[in-house]
Structure 1
Amino acid sequence: MSAITSRRTTRTGIALSRRAGMVFVLPALVLFAVFILYPLLTALSYSFFGWTGIVRGGFTGIENYVALFTELPFSTDIPNAFLHNLLLFAGAMFFQNTVGLGLATLLHRMSRFKRFFQTMYTLPYLVSPLVVGYLWSLMLSPLFGPVNSVLRAIGLGDLAKPWLGDPATAIWVVVIVTAWQWIGFPVLLYGAALGGIPEEIDEAASLDGAGPWQRFRSITLPMLVPAIGTVSVLTFIGAMEAFPIPYALGGSQGSPAGATDVLSLLFYRTAFESGSSNAIGTSSAIATLLFLFIFGVSMLITWLMRRAERRLY
């Protein structure tokens, strides 16, 4: 009888724990449903209808999606904006996995002022991207910006130019500013991952004659795969959803001449500035495609990184 009673008590305890867990999780689920799931499903439903202003018309199927790839200006703006999103992702990944990882490694080996430098590198990440974008637009002003003033003062006046007014340099300014603001995130994440690697492994490899680069390549880097996967997924999501910095640096039109245009700006223009009678249907189609692409690629990156992680053990 005691064994049966013990089992019943265990089951009752598990059931109560699950109920208690659901009570704590329920507020988050409600917020997710109201602010995330409901808008997503609403946008999806809107994309299958024609609209006249804010009045919903009849069911149109995939006509709004077809229009994105067959009608102007979408047939030219979408590839251009999509390319810029990919450039943002590539640029951010390059800086985070080179400069960010390098800074995290240096800080990990420091004994003094470590927290200070971690805080300094993280501060831009904590500032609103819109504020960061406007500050950099002032710094890069060809009339009174300090960047061109410093170049002229040190004898490099030939390099001074209207950085945000030249289509050849504007998108790279967006890439660099975005990477600069995000650099604090991988510094913190890689720093935490480096702190979790047992020092005994590195010391054993050093005693076996492995040099610093060999130890980093064969021991440290493989053990950072989970952190690299997290950085990759979040960087991809952030780059594909980028709006504040491109908006602050190039405006809603992606100036100059669409050189700083991204998909979120295209969505914004279509929904609020196009003047189209079917703005709701078309912009909802853009939002739905963007979500599906982000979700699909994020799942693919996660799967690849988990597969690489399993190979290590």
Structure 2
Amino acid sequence: MAAKSFRWHIPVFLAPAVLVYTAIMIIPLFGTLNLSLYNLDGQNRIFVGLANFKTLFGDPRWSASFWNALGNNAWFFIVHMLVQNPIGVLLAAILSSPRLRMAAFYRTAIFVPAILSFVIVGFVWKLILSPIWGIAPGMLDWVGLKSLYLPWLGKEAYALTTLALVSVWQFVGIPMMLIYAALLNIPQEVLEAAEMDGITGSSQFWKIKLPLILPSIGIISILTFVGNFNAFDLIYVSQGALAGPDFATDILGTFLYRTFFGFQLQLGDPHMGATIATAMFGIILIGVCIYLFAIQTRLRRYQF
């Protein structure tokens, strides 16, 4: 039996993507890891090993900012998990109903914000919520709830949650579309068998559809985790690099930006910036590994 010939077209077609990915992702990643192991001694760059990480986690001047940013990042992620993803699942379940009219229009309308620029979204919502010229006070007054209005972006207790909900509004269409596609891929024979057993409506969703789309929900969850711990744009556009008020909206992305590039009177420190970026990479890597080895393997039993 003749050996199979090598399929040259596979590496040929993969090569451009691999080269581009290596140039803009892999090489900068290793460059960042290398930069975090050095520091400046006058004009000379010296190898310091893990000393920068010791400074980041042990020096109160750095650790207080780092843990504040990490805590804010965690809350940013929790809001998305508890609000965005359940709403996305609910919308997908509703839009997948064959009885719903104009479903394509609703899907498009909900998904459109996800393709808008962070700059546009941040600027527009900052205008909407402004206590001076925003329309939010007027809209609440129109429904008799003006007493509930607060300058949310200016209060430490509410600013981060407000921006997280703005992000939810922008990106809820992504989990909706992924879950919608998963629901459409459920074999019709399974649903027909459930109907013959008298399982219909919401009961069919909870007992039949939901277990079958759990792998998709798991993928959405890890994408949400990675995206939220890489977040930067919306906070920067809305609150600036200082992530006010009083660093209440400071996340790892804005902390990294100020450290690496400097801001106002603060000089940039590329080595400590690279250390923060490496810490972010480690956090995301640990989260992805936990998902792949502890969660995804358990969800496979629901797949066909």
- 8 Å Cα contact 2:214-2:302 kept in structure 1: no
- CA–CA distance in 2 between the matches of 1:63 and 1:228? 40
Match of 2:89?
101
Structure 2 distance, partners of 1:221, 1:140, is 37
Partner amino acid for 2:136? V
8 Å CA contact 1:226, 1:305 repeated in 2: no
Q: In the alignment, what sits opposite 1:256?
A: 245
Structure 2 counterpart of 1:90, from 78, 82, 86:
78
Range that drifts further, 174-183 or 92-101: 92-101
How far off its partner does 1:265 sit? 0.3
Alpha-carbon distance, 1:47 to partner: 0.6
> Which residue of structure 2 lines up, in the alignment, with residue 312 of structure 1?
302
Query: In structure 2, what is the equivalent of residue 204 of structure 1?
Result: 193
**In 2, distance between residues paired with 1:103 and 1:225?**
16
Q: What's the CA shift for 1:189?
A: 0.5
Amino acid at match of 2:182: A
Unaligned runs of 5+ in 2: none
CA spacing shift, 1:116–1:21, aligned 2, 3 Å: same
Which one of the candidate residues 105, 124, 135 is aligned to 1:146? 135
> 2: distance between equivalents of 1:197 and 1:144?
49
Report how many residues are paired.
301
For residue 224 of structure 1, give the secondary structure of its aligned residue in structure 2: helix
1:293-308 pair list within 5 angstroms:
293-308=283-298
Aligned-pair distance for 1:276?
Answer: 6.3
Contact 1:225 1:305 in 2 (8 A): no
Letter of the 2:57 partner, please give it.
F
What secondary structure does 1:50 align onto? strand
Change (3 A) 1:145 1:61: same
Alignment-derived partner of residue 63 in structure 2? 75
Aligned to 1:273: 262
Contact 1:107 1:118 in 2 (8 A): yes
Partner SS, residue 301 of structure 1: helix
Displacement of 1:312 in angstroms is 2.7
Over aligned residue pairs, what C-alpha RMSD do you find? Answer: 1.9
Q: Give the TM-score normalised by the residue count of structure 2.
A: 0.93
Query: Counterpart of 1:58 in 2: which secondary structure?
Result: strand
Distance 2:170 2:41 in 1: 41
Determine which of 139, 162, 165 is the counterpart of 1:173. 162
TM-score, with length taken from structure 1 = 0.91
For 1:94, give the aligned amino acid.
L
CA distance in 1, matches of 2:73, 2:50: 25
Which of the pair has more CA radius of gyration? 1
Mapped contact 1:91–1:176 kept (Cα < 8 A):
yes
1:127 to 108, 116, 119: 116
Match among 43, 47, 65 for residue 59 of structure 1 = 47
| Letter aligned with residue 59 of structure 1 | F
After superposition, give the CA deviation of every residue in 1:128-149 in whole Å (9 maximum; x if it has no partner).
Answer: 1232111111111010100112
Give % identity.
33
Q: Of 234, 244, 266, which residue of structure 2 is paired with 1:245?
A: 234
Contact between 2:114 and 2:173, CA under 8 Å: does it hold in 1? yes
